[in-house]
Amino acid sequence: MGDRFLPLKPAWLHVLLAVAGGRHHGYVIRQEVEARTEGRIRLWPATLYGTLSQLTEAGLLEETPEPPAGVADDDARRRYYRLTPSGERVLDAETRRLEDLVEYARSRRLARERGGA
pLDDT in tens, 9-34: 999 999 999 999 888 999 999 999 99
pLDDT at 73 over 70: no
**pTM for this one?**
0.86
Total structural domains within the chain: 1
Print the domain residue range for 69: 3-113
Beta carbons of 20 and 83 less than 8 angstroms apart: yes
Distance of alpha carbon 33 from the chain centroid: 9
CATH number of the domain to which 33 belongs = 1.10.10.10
